[in-house]
Chain A
Amino acid sequence: MLIRVTDAPLSAEEAAWAVASPAAGAVNIFLGVVRNTNRGRAVSHLVYDAYPSMAEKEMRAIAEEATARFGLEGCAVLHRTGRLEIGETSLVVAVSCGHRRESYEAGLWIVNEVKRRVPVWKKEVWEDGEEWIEGPESLGMQQAPASMRP
């Protein structure tokens, strides 16, 4: 299992090697990359902040849950912090398992869990301003689920 929060560029190839297993018939790799627009507004770059020690703990817990739930052979979750330019990779999720269906399902599940509960934040920087994004917009919720709220 490879888990890392780092301000250094992420390597999909490293993640692929980390999940390699003779028992795996499928390796699925997801890259989250910085997009040049959000909500119709041109994005110049992103800045990620994190609580690195807790983020790695949560990412490890997610990887362990996914391993049990989907029968994974290997799992890697890497998140980058600091300033990222358009097209750079902010998140790598790699899984290996027996067959392709579980590999896709596990990959999507892990990405959603990362967005839901790993303490990482992104700031969008535009030509004329900036804003910290709060909440995983792409999951269609502005707040974490009730079970995680005080």
Chain B
Amino acid sequence: MLLFASLAERAGTRRLEVPVGEGETVRDIRDRVVARFPQLAPAVPTLMYALNEEYAREDAAVAAGSTLALIPPVSGG
């Protein structure tokens, strides 16, 4: 899993290896990571997600070996 910006600072890392169980969704993985890093919890309501570099919904299935990114509201430009 990839973390950026405020999330990376709060968690103290930009990259996590997370085991994926059969039939798990983006939401399942996120909840497991937030349980491990409770300081990420306040960001959850505004988060978006990217699965293998494409925006994905919370209920998208995650295959083993996928790259899931937590995407806080973007502010480029």
Contact = CB atoms under 8 A, between A and B. Distances in A.
B73 A48 contact: no
A148 B73 CA distance: 11
A150 interface: yes
B69 interface: yes
Most-contacted residue by chain A among B5, B26, B48, B74 (CB, 10 A): B74
Interface string A49-87: 111011101000000000000000000000100000000
Most-contacted residue by chain A among B9, B48, B73 (CB, 10 A): B73
Interface size class of A (residues with CB under 8 A): 35 or more
Contacts of A118: 74, 76
B48 A149 contact: yes
B6 to A, nearest CB: 4
Contact of B73 (A91, A114, A123, A135): A135
B50 A51 contact: yes
Interface string A120-150: 1111000000001111111000111000111
Contacts of B55: 117, 148
B41 to A, nearest CB: 15
Given A132-B6, A132-B9, A50 B76 contact: yes
B50 A54 contact: yes
A122 B58 contact: no
Most-contacted residue by chain A among B2, B48, B49, B69 (CB, 10 A): B48
A45 interface: no
B76 A150 contact: no
Contacts of A111: 77
Contact of B75 (A55, A120, A149): A120
11 contacts: A49-B4, A51-B2, A115-B77, A118-B74, A121-B4, A121-B5, A121-B75, A121-B76, A136-B74, A136-B76, A150-B58
Given A132-B6, A149-B48, A119 B74 contact: yes
Given A49-B4, A54-B53, A150-B57, A142 B69 contact: no
A54 B69 contact: yes
A32 B77 contact: yes
Nearest to A142: B73
